[in-house]
Copies of this chain bind each other. A is one copy, B any other.
Amino acid sequence: MRWLASWESFVRVVEEGSMAAAARRLDCTRAQVSKQVGELEQAFGVRLFERSTRKLVLTPSGEIFYRHALQALDAVDGAELAVRNVDEVPRGVLRVGASAVFGRQCVAPFVPRLLARYPELECELILSDEREDLAEARLDLALRMTRSPPEDAVSRLLLVLRRVICASPAYLAAHGRPQLPADLTAHQCFSHLLSDGGVWRLRDGQGDEIEVPIHSRLRFNDIGSTLDAVRAGQGIAILPTYLCGDALARGELETLLDVYEPQVDFGRNLYACYLPGRGRLPAVRAFLDEFQAWLSPEPPWERYGRGG
């Protein structure tokens, strides 16, 4: 039995809804597909499809296998692509989208390294806080912080971002250091207009979430400005470490309430998103590989600024 071909047949049956339709799509016979699926079931010792009705329904085992099979076939395809494209030098213009602050802070410093590595590559970095459509914006790749990456795109989790509560030493000296989340209510805490709606949600080490209503007389929709205000000693804020890591390292800022992990609506995940065909482009693959290498084992902004 051609093992992987059987997996592909099985996956196709699930997608097409019947063996006959899958056979048509695969340009082979119903008998072949039926036999391949039957042999998979025999090999695994489980039923993949219910047989009590003509309407094909996956069994629980079938569902599990379907998901794993997709992943495995994707890995196989990726391997084939990688080896076939190894001699293709990334060239041309790569259009990368990112949010304004993250783009300026993290992607922009990275891109020169990429371009140094691939002399025939050019890059257009499109910074925007709007979730523009990848096709409409003609983006080859978008870096998104979100809980729900675009459904028409391939999304690859690159990194889990960290956020910390921080203030300047001067502010803390003048106003005292909050010891508990509730203490924050007595402090000037900057609100993110776009995300927290005046309530900070902090998760403690046990996974419990504490909500702290905060008030601030100064509110920003640009976290770069929030950073500036915090550094100026005007208050406390939740900031991503990619933004404030340097200031922390230099001692310009200090973190507080470290046991608590700030939660934000759009979550902690940084995704690389690209339209299905774009994954083949050497430039996209080079960007992803180099960017991930750059982020490993931890991002540059986390590599410094460590301490007790």
Contact = CB atoms under 8 A, between A and B. Distances in A.
A255 B307 contact: yes
Interface in A196-219: 205
Contacts of A164: 306
A64 B83 contact: yes
Interface in A167-220: 205
Interface-central residue, A65, A82, A268, A308, by most chain B CB under 10 Å: A308
A68 B78 contact: yes
A305 interface: yes
A167 to B, nearest CB: 10
Interface residues of A, number: 51
A60 interface: yes
A284 B72 CA distance: 20
Contacts of A259: 249, 304
Contacts of A268: 297
Contacts of A248: 307-308
A293 interface: no
A54 interface: no
Nearest to A68: B79
A21 interface: no
A308 B249 contact: yes
Interface in A49-102: 60-61, 64-65, 68-69, 71-72, 74-76, 78-80, 82-84, 86-87
Interface-central residue, A46, A64, A76, A254, by most chain B CB under 10 Å: A76
A266 interface: no
A77 to B, nearest CB: 9
Interface string A284-308: 0000000000000110100111111
Nearest to A296: B160
Nearest to A84: B44
Given A2-B2, A46-B84, A61-B86, A254 B68 contact: no
Contact of A76 (B60, B72, B253): B72
A78 B87 contact: no
Nearest to A80: B44
Contacts of A304: 205, 258-259
A68 B249 CA distance: 37
A44 B255 contact: no
A87 B46 contact: yes
A4 interface: yes
A138 B39 CA distance: 35
B65 A258 contact: no
Top 5 A-B residue pairs of the complex, sorted by shortest distance between their CB atoms: A68-B79, A248-B308, A72-B75, A160-B297, A65-B83
